[in-house]
């Protein structure tokens, strides 16, 4: 990266949080972290019932939202790629202790910021470890479904998509 960029966040869930984009956009990932989809691809395919990052678009590139399936008013399962709900509420994430560090929206917000160049060694290590353990769901789909039978285990496929794994296999 030529020059570090300072980002100050002002949205409904976070005000005045500042971080530095110190790595190249979409590059310089930890060798243990090899997501199969970019945030832009995930948003275009349909994740989180279209009700995610709606109030913080200015933090991320505008082209991420050009083809995103969004539902600004309320969550809509038809915005999801597989038209099925496949997530737990933010309240549940908080209760389970899954919201860590400075990313109040959870893993996907961390991924968007990581993809954009932010690095936080301790938090990155935890989130990458969580991402790596999620591959067990891909193994379950592969074990129990015929190739390209996208109706088989659609809830797990939607969840894979929401963790940057390609659900189309």
Residue 10's pLDDT band (cuts 50, 70, 90): very high
- Per-residue pLDDT tens digits for 31-62: 999 999 999 999 999 999 998 888 889 999 99
Record the tokens describing residue 167, joined without a space. 């659900």
Q: What is the pLDDT of residue 43?
A: 97
The percent helix, strand, coil of the chain (3-state, each to 5) is: 40, 10, 50
Q: What is the mean pLDDT of the chain?
A: 94
Q: Give the range among 22-36, 88-102, 130-144 with minimum mean pLDDT.
A: 88-102
Q: What is the pLDDT of residue 86?
A: 80
What whole-number percentage of the chain has pLDDT above 70? 99
- Quick one: how far is CA 63 from the chain centroid? 16
Q: What is the pLDDT of residue 96?
A: 87
- Per-residue pLDDT tens digits for 115-133: 999 999 999 999 999 999 9
- Per-residue pLDDT tens digits for 64-81: 999 999 998 899 999 999
Domain range summary for the chain, segments of one domain joined by +: 36-162
Closest CA to 118 of 5, 31, 3: 5
Q: Look up the pTM and report it.
A: 0.93
More confidently predicted of 2 and 99: 99
């Amino acid at each position: 990266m030529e020059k570090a960029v300072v980002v100050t966040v002002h949205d409904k869930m976070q005000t005045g949080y500042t971080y530095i984009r110190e790595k190249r956009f979409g590059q310089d990932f930890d060798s243990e972290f090899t997501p199969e989809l970019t945030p832009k691809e995930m948003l275009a395919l349909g994740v989180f019932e279209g009700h995610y990052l709606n109030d913080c678009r200015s933090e991320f590139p505008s082209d991420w939202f050009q083809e995103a399936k969004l539902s600004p008013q309320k969550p809509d399962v038809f915005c999801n790629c597989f038209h099925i709900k496949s997530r737990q509420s933010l309240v549940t994430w908080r209760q389970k202790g899954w919201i860590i560090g400075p990313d109040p929206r959870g893993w996907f917000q961390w991924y968007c910021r990581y993809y954009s160049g932010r690095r936080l060694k301790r938090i990155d290590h935890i989130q990458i470890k969580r991402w790596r353990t999620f591959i067990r769901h891909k193994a379950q789909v592969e074990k129990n479904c015929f190739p390209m039978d996208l109706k088989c285990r659609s809830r797990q496929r939607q969840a894979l998509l929401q963790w940057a794994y390609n659900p189309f296999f």
